[in-house]
Amino acid sequence: MTSLTFPVGGWKTRTVAIPRPLGKPALLRLRSRGPITTYFAKPWIDTAQERSSFASLFQTWGRSWHPFVLPGRYTHLEVCKVRGNGVARWQLDRMRSEDVPPLRTTVAGHGTELFSWEGEHLEMRYEYAARSGGLRFTHHAFDTGESLEMDRTGTQRGTVRMVGPGYLWVHSAPASDWTLQSV
């Protein structure tokens, strides 16, 4: 596998190998360099035994960084430009685990954020400020990055329950202000 120097970028669709120990998650962040150009982040498995693409993880909005967890089973990430949508470049970079802030009992955010949670069960109430769209949540295991079971209600206002430690990914689509508060 070719060794890459991060950050990497481009302005068209490109598939990037994400080198790391087998089965370990990658902490990454992706952004468009322009306000109206958006990209999809699409995971791939590309090994000697298998070559498969999977559904998009998310779509970027504006110039903000979108931090996320790429589960350990995926070997590559394809960054796909949305058709007829601006001309700006994209940038993909790695994050260290210490770059991921701990989830506090009260959080105010905007757009997409990634947090770490070391505790046990946690229930949080959330509010999304925009009139359209909503929030997506994913709870990822620390060791593999795989999605863990999570209960939630609503899209713009509701509750979300984490069943143990891991990363919590909060994705606002479109980017807007939101709050999380422990119940």
Each residue of 54-102: pLDDT tens digit? 999 999 988 999 999 999 999 999 999 887 777 789 999 999 999 999 9
- Residue 91: the pLDDT is 96
Euclidean distance between CA atoms 19 and 4, whole angstroms: 8
Residues 79 and 112 occupy one common structural domain: no
Residue 141's domain is classified under what CATH number? 2.60.120.380
- Residue 153: the pLDDT is 79
Residues 63 and 81 occupy one common structural domain: yes
Provide the 10 A C-beta neighbour count for residue 95.
Answer: 17
What percentage of residues in the chain have a pLDDT greater than 70?
A: 98
Residue 3 lies in a domain: no
Whether 2 shows a pLDDT value over 60: the answer reads no
Token pair for 169? 């990914």
- Residue 31: the pLDDT is 95
- 127-166 burial by CB neighbour count: b if 16+ within 10 A, else e? ebeeeeebbebbbbbbebbeebeeebeeebebebbbeebb
For residue 1, name the pLDDT band (cuts at 50, 70, 90).
very low
What average pLDDT does the chain have? 91
Domain that holds residue 15: 8-94
Whether 110 shows a pLDDT value over 50: the answer reads yes
Residue 39 lies in a domain: yes
Residues 82 and 117 occupy one common structural domain: no
Residues 82 and 129 occupy one common structural domain: no
Contacts of residue 4, Cβ cutoff 8 Å, sequence gap at least 6: 16, 17, 19
Structural domain count of the chain: 2
- Residue 15: the pLDDT is 95
| pTM of the predicted protein model | 0.92
Q: Tokens 């967890």 sit at which residue? A: 69
- Residue 3: the pLDDT is 55
Residues 123 and 80 occupy one common structural domain: no
- Residue 57: the pLDDT is 94
